[in-house]
């Protein structure tokens, strides 16, 4: 069965390019980004893992630990990393799981047989400090992910976890947010002291409360 939002992210033990890990223990009190790539030494994946490395500081600012996975073995990962570094002018600074036994791929339903019986699709899981799945995304092998969009979603998840707000279409950190319907307008006026912009009784904007 596919994992759903709010489910506990399955725990596992795995070998990675930075040594063995126990997933929940490794995650600790951080947020987590677990993402799969179809295979080593492939062009799109080379750009994706490089982009992730280049965004290290952005992930650290958000207390997000990054973990990649594919069904290739550790030797293959270690031979491929110099290519990623060279092509993207960076250093891979996060662990890559060697999942040749497909343990993680099966736990997280990363192999979609109608797309490929062997390779993982481009799955993305954002996991909260409570170990619950907060976001899932699935891309085909031919389409590289937008990691700036993933950071935007993390910003929204972290904001909305702590305040009674939601984020509108195309929202970016620092822009106005929406007061959730569960908060009455009377209570919202007390709670959100920066002011309300009432467009409709159910659509009320307020400046981002943590800025």
- Which residue of the set 27, 33, 34, 45 is catalytic? 45
CB atoms within 10 A of CB 171: 18
Task: Give kind and range of the element (H or E) at residue 145.
Answer: none
Strands (E), 54-130: 64-70, 96-98, 122-127
pLDDT of residue 110: 82
Over residues 134-142, mean pLDDT? 89
Return the percentage of the chain with pLDDT > 70, whole number: 95
Residues 6 or more apart whose CB falls under 8 angstroms from that of 119 comprise 38, 39, 70, 71, 111, 141
- What is the set of domains in the chain, with CATH numbers? 13-146 (3.40.30.10), 163-206 (3.30.1020.10)
Query: Annotated catalytic, 106?
Result: no
Nearest-10 crossing angle of helices 43-54, 74-88: 70
Buried b / exposed e over 109-125, threshold 16 CB at 10 Å, is ebbeeeeeeebbbbbbb
C-alpha pair distances (Å), 62 with each of 21, 26, 55, 66: 22, 17, 11, 11
Summarised one tens digit per residue, pLDDT across range 4-62 is: 999 999 999 999 999 999 999 999 999 999 999 888 999 999 999 999 999 999 999 99
Task: pLDDT band for 121, please (50, 70, 90 cuts).
Answer: low
Over residues 97-114, mean pLDDT? 83
């Amino acid at each position: 069965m596919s994992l759903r939002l709010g489910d506990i992210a399955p725990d596992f033990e795995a070998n990675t390019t930075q040594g063995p890990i126990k997933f929940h223990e490794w995650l600790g009190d951080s947020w987590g980004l677990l993402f799969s790539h179809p295979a080593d030494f492939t062009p799109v994946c080379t750009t994706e893992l490089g982009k992730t490395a280049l965004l290290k500081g952005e992930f650290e600012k958000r207390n997000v630990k990054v973990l990649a996975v594919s069904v290739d073995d550790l030797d293959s990962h270690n031979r491929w990393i110099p290519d990623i570094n060279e092509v993207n002018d960076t250093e891979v600074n996060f662990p890559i799981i060697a999942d040749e036994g497909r343990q993680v791929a099966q736990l997280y339903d990363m192999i979609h047989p109608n797309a490929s019986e062997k390779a993982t699709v481009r799955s993305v899981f954002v996991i909260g400090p409570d170990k619950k799945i907060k976001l899932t995304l699935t891309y085909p092998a031919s389409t590289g992910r937008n990691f700036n969009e993933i950071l935007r979603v993390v910003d929204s998840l972290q904001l909305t976890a702590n305040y009674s707000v939601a984020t509108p279409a195309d929202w970016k950190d620092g822009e106005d947010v929406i007061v959730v319907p569960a908060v009455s307008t009377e209570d919202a006026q007390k709670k959100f002291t920066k002011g309300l912009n009432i467009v409709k009784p159910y659509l009320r904007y307020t400046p981002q409360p943590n800025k």
